[in-house]
Amino acid sequence: MSKTIVALDFSTRKEVYEFLLKFNEPIYVKIGMELTYSFGFEIVREIKAMGHKIFLDLKLHDIPNTVKQAMKNLAKLDVDIVNLHCAGGSTMMKAAIEGLHEGAVNGKRPLCIGVTQLTSTSQEAMEKELLIERDLKEVVIAYAKLAKESGLDGVVCSVLEAKAIHEACGEDFLTVTPGIRLATDSKDDQKRVATPEVAKEEGCDLIVVGRSITKSADPLATYHQIEAVMEGK
Ligand SMILES: O=c1ccn([C@@H]2O[C@H](COP(=O)(O)O)[C@@H](O)[C@H]2O)c(=O)[nH]1
């Protein structure tokens, strides 16, 4: 299966299905807040029924009991990956895993990964706005270690931290990296960015790509170009 997860950040169902119809095989997609808050879990079930693998990116962050109950319900959707914010702490993360076990379909729970620091966060913003006066990479690695100790399967981080996370948490601990930009892309809200080539070099397990593919003149060709890099072809 693909190492490239395509972020389906579209505002209409029509755009989603026109996009997916370009592919004649199942791919790995990310369904986030934009689609879920517009169309509910029905769209998750529909895309799953088409055979695509799903990372349901809802980034839970609440008290442990609430997250546990929410995860129990998400597990019933039988998606491949769900996530939460590591900033919720170890008790919340452990509760999330308990909830996923309780809701597991046929004894198999979705993988659960933790957002360390959003790829749109810079060192400066983390210090001045979040009042975390530490090196951003150190913070990301500390959150990744906490996620691992709490029973999570991996983290969302930027490409720039993936190698250090594998060194600290082991090669089997998943690094899922958004903030992927092609050399030709212009600057936007993402701050900690890297190309697919660098993601491959840094050993990222899965990359998340949205606009570079979905807004490309030829999304299918761009997807295959990126996948070829990630597969080392
Ligand atoms: O730290 C994070 C966590 C999640 N995302 C999500 O990934 C995609 C990226 O889309 P692009 O268009 O390639 O920027 C988007 O859905 C985000 O919600 C992230 O970017 N960073």
pLDDT tens per residue across all 233 residues of the chain: 799 999 999 999 999 999 999 999 999 999 999 999 999 999 999 999 999 999 999 999 999 999 999 999 999 999 999 999 999 999 999 999 999 999 999 999 999 999 999 999 999 999 999 999 999 999 999 999 999 999 999 999 999 999 999 999 999 999 999 999 999 999 999 999 999 999 999 999 999 999 999 999 999 999 999 999 999 98
Determine the atom of ligand 1 nearest the C-alpha atom of 188: 14
Which pLDDT belongs to residue 233? 85
Determine the atom of ligand 1 nearest the C-alpha atom of 212: 13
Residue whose CA is closest, atom 20 of ligand 1?
Answer: 178
Say yes or no: CB of residue 7 within 6 Å of ligand 1: yes
Would you tell me how many other CB atoms lie within 10 Å of the CB of residue 26?
14
CA gap 84, 115 in Å, rounded: 6
Say yes or no: CB of residue 227 within 6 Å of ligand 1: no
Domain count for the chain: 1
C-alpha Rg value of the chain to the nearest Å:
17
Say what percent of the chain tops pLDDT 90: 99
Q: Say whether 62 is catalytic.
A: yes
CA 164 to chain centre: 18
Which pLDDT belongs to residue 15? 98
Q: Which is the catalytic residue, given 3, 48, 57, 68?
A: 57
Q: How far is the CA of 173 from the centre of ligand 1 (A)?
A: 20
CATH number at 203 reads: 3.20.20.70
123 marked as binding residue: no
Cβ neighbours for 156, distance < 8 A, ≥ 6 positions apart: 83, 113, 114, 115, 116, 176, 177, 178, 208
Say yes or no: CB of residue 178 within 6 Å of ligand 1: yes
Quickly tell me which residue has 């997916």 as its tokens: 20
User: Each residue of 18-33: pLDDT tens digit?
Assistant: 999 999 999 999 999 9
Any long-range contacts for 30-38 (C-beta under 8 Å, 24+ apart)? 30/5, 30/6, 30/54, 30/55, 30/56, 30/57, 30/208, 30/210, 31/55, 31/56, 31/57, 32/7, 32/8, 32/57, 32/58, 33/57, 33/58, 33/59, 34/9, 34/10, 35/8, 35/9, 35/10, 38/11
CA gap 173, 191 in Å, rounded: 24
CA gap 36, 106 in Å, rounded: 24
Say yes or no: CB of residue 161 within 6 Å of ligand 1: no
User: Each residue of 52-83: pLDDT tens digit?
Assistant: 999 999 999 999 999 999 999 999 999 999 99
Would you tell me how many other CB atoms lie within 10 Å of the CB of residue 232?
7
Range of the domain at 72: 4-230
Which pLDDT belongs to residue 113? 99
Q: What angle do CA 196, 202, 203 make, to 5 degrees?
A: 90
